[in-house]
């Protein structure tokens, strides 16, 4: 679900992204998660507006899509979700590297270079309130951990490009990446818990951005 339309200065925009399928993962559960989270968040956090995009798992198309969305929507918060086979719950990424693994994308293409952006910093740190997120999810008995390695695939690429865009944003942008298991249930994280935990992350991010995360319904 993508909630577009005119961007109002009286409401804050939250950008939520998931990924489409890629080699070895014909169904990417991050897509269904962000759609469900966006529907719930739109009801729960008013008057904020939520825009959801399912990114193509492609080296060029994914960061280009994110850059275009940020430029058009000017969100206050951007949260990216992706899957990791070894994730046992929410895995909150703390940084992104200016590097990529030589692996084909969903279009069958390799990355054009070993780095993501030439002459850019080797890494960027996330600005999310990581400790608050981990503390809150732990208090709710949801499995959560922090990671300093977002991998060398499109998850890291999207996060790095977002943080690179974030350097001189107008308005300021709070961004982060959350890995979830590639399948719900057996991983220790149910779909319902994934939705509830994601809503908590959004609330904390909005509070950190100086926006009242007013709830309703």
With beta carbons less than 8 A apart as the criterion, state whether 154 and 101 touch: no
| Fold exhibited by the domain 13-208 | Aminopeptidase (3.40.630)
Rounded-to-integer distance, Cα 68 and Cα 89, Å: 30
Query: Is the entire prediction scored with pTM above 0.75?
Result: yes
Q: How confident is the model at residue 169 (pLDDT cuts 50, 70, 90)?
A: low
β-pairing, 49-55 vs 13-19, is parallel
127/210 Cα distance (integer angstroms): 14
Mean pLDDT is lowest, of 5-19, 56-70, 78-92, 102-116, for 5-19
| C-alpha pair distances (Å), 198 with each of 10, 42, 94, 212 | 24, 13, 17, 17
Residue 187 has pLDDT above 90, yes or no: no
Whole-angstrom CA distances from 32 to 35, 102, 169, 173, 179 are 5, 28, 29, 24, 14
Q: Which residue has the tokens 């169904």?
A: 27
Phi and psi (nearest 5°) for 180?
Answer: -125, 165
Mean pLDDT over the full length of the chain: 91
What six digits make up the tokens of 143? 């499995």
| Greatest C-alpha distance within the chain | 48
């Amino acid at each position: 679900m993508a909630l577009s339309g005119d961007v109002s200065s009286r409401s804050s925009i939250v950008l939520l992204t998931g990924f489409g399928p890629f080699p070895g993962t014909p169904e990417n559960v991050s897509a269904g998660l962000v759609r469900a989270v966006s529907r719930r968040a739109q009801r729960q956090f008013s008057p904020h507006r939520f825009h959801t995009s399912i990114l193509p798992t492609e080296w060029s198309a994914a960061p280009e899509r994110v850059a275009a969305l940020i430029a058009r929507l000017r969100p206050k918060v951007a949260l990216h979700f992706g899957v990791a086979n070894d994730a046992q719950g929410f895995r909150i990424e703390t940084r992104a590297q200016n590097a990529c693994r030589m692996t084909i994308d969903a279009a069958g293409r390799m990355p054009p270079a070993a780095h993501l952006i030439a002459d850019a910093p080797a890494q960027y740190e996330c600005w999310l309130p990581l400790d608050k997120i981990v503390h809150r999810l732990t208090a709710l008995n949801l499995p959560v951990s922090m990671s300093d390695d977002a991998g060398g695939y499109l998850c890291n690429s999207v996060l790095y490009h977002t943080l690179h865009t974030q350097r001189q944003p107008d308005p300021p942008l709070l961004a982060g990446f959350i890995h979830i298991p590639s399948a719900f249930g057996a991983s220790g994280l149910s779909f319902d818990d994934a939705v509830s935990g994601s809503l908590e992350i959004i609330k904390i991010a909005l509070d950190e951005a100086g926006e009242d995360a007013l709830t309703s319904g």
